[in-house]
Chains A and B, each alone.
Chain A
Amino acid sequence: MITRASLIFLGALAAILMSFTALAVLPAAQLATIEPTPGTEEYYGPTRRGREVYVREGCVYCHSQQVRPPDFGADIERGWGQRGSLPGDYVYDYPHVMGTMRTGPDLHDIASRQPSADWHHAHLYNPRSVSPGSVMAPYPWLYRVVEVRGDGPDNAVPLPPEYAPGEGFAVIPTEEAEDLFAYLMTLKLEAVDTPASDAAGATE
């Protein structure tokens, strides 16, 4: 016998299965065969490990990776990318790190506007060394302070004196910092054939 109680709860279960199908399963099926956009490549060694550092340190809580299309916000006018982000930009991303917060700027095209390794390493070691007033967290555990012998290490991070470790010492990136930089350099939005104005509707 179907009781009133089981009717209520079966109905409730059916409701959630419907939305799960629509919001999770259908988009996955629709985008299953999508082509990666030009420049979007599978992660390998350093970029894969660098992405793991990005996830581990929670960069996503302050930086989005989704450039809004033209006529929606001012992302493109701000120089955050030449086009809006497309589903094909993300095909190799697990977990996704699109983010919902911009305490800091969007990073989906960071490699285009800031390709300097020196800048990124100084910024990650202490953001205020290159960006006064920044509220970003420092990541000194991705770096090592070493004693300078002779000319000093080739990969020393150039720092202004007030952030440098002091006379006779230099800051050098660990492998994790190099990997993170390698990952950041994969974040680049290249032009696609589709006119940018269609970007938002490309998968309609």
Chain B
Amino acid sequence: MDPVHGVWRDGVAPTNVATWRRDVDRHVRTPVVAFTLTAVFWLLVGTTFALIASFKFQYPDWMGETAAMTFGRVRPAHLNTMIWGWISPAGVAIAVWLWGRLLKTEVRHVWALNVSWVLWNIGVTVGTVGILAGYSQGIEWVEMPLAAFVFLVPALLLVAYSLLSTLRHRRVAHLYISVWYIGASLLWTPVLIVAILLPIYSGVPHATANWWFAHNILGLWLTPIGLGAAYYLIPKVVGRPIYSYHLSYLGFWTLALFYNWAGVHHLVGGPPPQWVVTVSIVFSVMMIIPVIIVGLNHHMTAFPRIKRVIWSPTLRFVVFGAVSYTVVSLQGAMQALRFWQEVTHFTHYTIAHSHIGVYAFVTMIAYGALYYLLPRVTGWEWKSKRLISLHFWTTAVGISLYIVGLTAGGVLQGFLMNNPDVPFMEIVETMKPFLWSRSIAGVLMTVGHLAFAYLVWEIVRKKGERPPGPVFFRQPPAGVYRMMTGADPDTGDGSAAHPVPAP
């Protein structure tokens, strides 16, 4: 096979590049729009749980009579709706769309994706209601009752079935790196879920299996989709190829080999056999290699044209996410070390860290990807650049405040906890201002989520007059504008690639 990217496998390129893209995009309109809409719905539900959970630290007796709204149920409900209701389905929407683009052919078995969407949402509903009603499995990141996974696992397998069988019909000779990431994640994730649900653990091994699983949901499910999207979108929007394509192979294989060993660093200082913990620390540190590689590739591609973040909503969100990936992963590699864990383990620092991963990295990239793909899939434009701008700034400032507040608070908490002369209640008091900062950050992010939900609703609804042209934060200079909308109409933002067909 010809290793050169972009060569058509059957040797016949379509005469009009924009036409095949439009066909491929429109072919997956139903599942992409459906997955996106419910993802945004669950984002709002998860945000509500987040606010309730956070404000309970300021007002612990608020809704204190209602069992379903107690902190210990709302917190896992927040995590599960965000992971399984928001970011996973949003990731599926992005993956499905990317798949047709990257294989240059229509995604096969769209019915399977539609069925998956139904199962997926039943699963998340059952799971969320189950947790609130008191049927949590009690295992962190696997709280939803088994009944939810009865729907979720087949839903995932249907997505894998549709995408992997499309592979056989690909019209490209070469598999772009994003295909590697997404394809692998679709194999990894069902294995992960089935493995953690096996009734073969108890006590300490249950804990090691638990953190192997939980860390891999981020590392082998959400991360590959986020990286796959960034690998596609950054070159698209800046109009240059990836900095080093060879490095991207190395980045993939090192991630595939190292990441899945890292999870047990959550049990440093705990009772598991020391060798298991040590192995995880070693692999956590080795993650520096894939992270530097991916960072080099993303940043060196975007950097020469970084000014485009002034104009392009997609690029601004994606670059924010890509930089966060570098930050969270280098932090993760360092914090696995014993001397670091001695302070930060068991503190709010860990909560901040996980939000850099799931929010500042994956969620921000998902926003950027949706800003790029929804106009192309729906054939409509975003309604308001001001609202996109509001979405960006509230979420970017909100998550930054969240991270700074809880990281600083967590480090302080850790040092105080390791000083036996400090009474425990004094630590609780010391944390209160930091927990306030989290609630304020949460309110800011909520504003952004509402703006985003409204924009998504409007672009799907397609009512009224079609908003004009691709939406940029500001009008790019003429030369850049032509480049972003003209020569290759797929570069840049908005749906310029698909002018409204004449009636």
Contact = CB atoms under 8 A, between A and B. Distances in A.
A and B part of one assembly: yes
A87 B272 contact: yes
Interface string A75-91: 00110000011110111
Contacts of B73: 56-58
Interface in B37-88: 56-57, 60-61, 64-65, 67, 70-73, 75-76
Nearest to B167: A5
A72 interface: yes
B60 A72 contact: no
Contacts of A15: 256-257, 260
B184 interface: yes
B425 A94 contact: no
A90 B429 contact: no
A2 interface: no
B269 A69 contact: yes
B208 A23 contact: yes
Interface residues of B, number: 84
Question: Interface residue tally of chain A, by bracket?
Answer: 35 or more
B112 interface: no
A112 to B, nearest CB: 16
Nearest to A77: B420
A110 B269 CA distance: 19
A90 B279 contact: no
A52 B350 CA distance: 26
Contacts of B428: 103-104, 133-135
Interface stretch (B18-26, B340-348, B364-372, B460-468): B340-348
A66 interface: yes
Nearest to B274: A204
A138 interface: yes
A114 to B, nearest CB: 12
B191 A16 contact: yes
A15 B350 CA distance: 27
A58 B136 contact: yes
Interface centre among A15, A68, A138 (most CB of B within 10 A): A15
B461 to A, nearest CB: 38
A58 B76 contact: yes
A96 interface: yes
A140 B204 contact: no
B70 A133 contact: no
A191 interface: no
Contacts of A13: 187-188, 191
Interface stretch (A26-34, A115-123, A148-156): A26-34
A105 B346 CA distance: 10
A93 B140 contact: no
A8 B185 CA distance: 12
Interface of B: 1, 56-57, 60-61, 64-65, 67, 70-73, 75-76, 134-140, 164, 167, 175, 180, 183-184, 187-188, 191-192, 195, 200-210, 212, 216, 220, 253, 256-257, 260-261, 263-264, 266-267, 269-276, 279-280, 338, 342, 345-348, 350-351, 417-420, 424-425, 428-429, 431-432, 435
Interface of A: 4-5, 8-9, 11-13, 15-20, 22-24, 26-28, 30-31, 55-62, 64, 66, 68-69, 72-74, 77-78, 84-87, 89-105, 126-128, 131, 133-141, 200-201, 203-204
Across the A-B interface, the 3 shortest Cβ-Cβ residue pairs: A58-B72, A90-B203, A55-B138
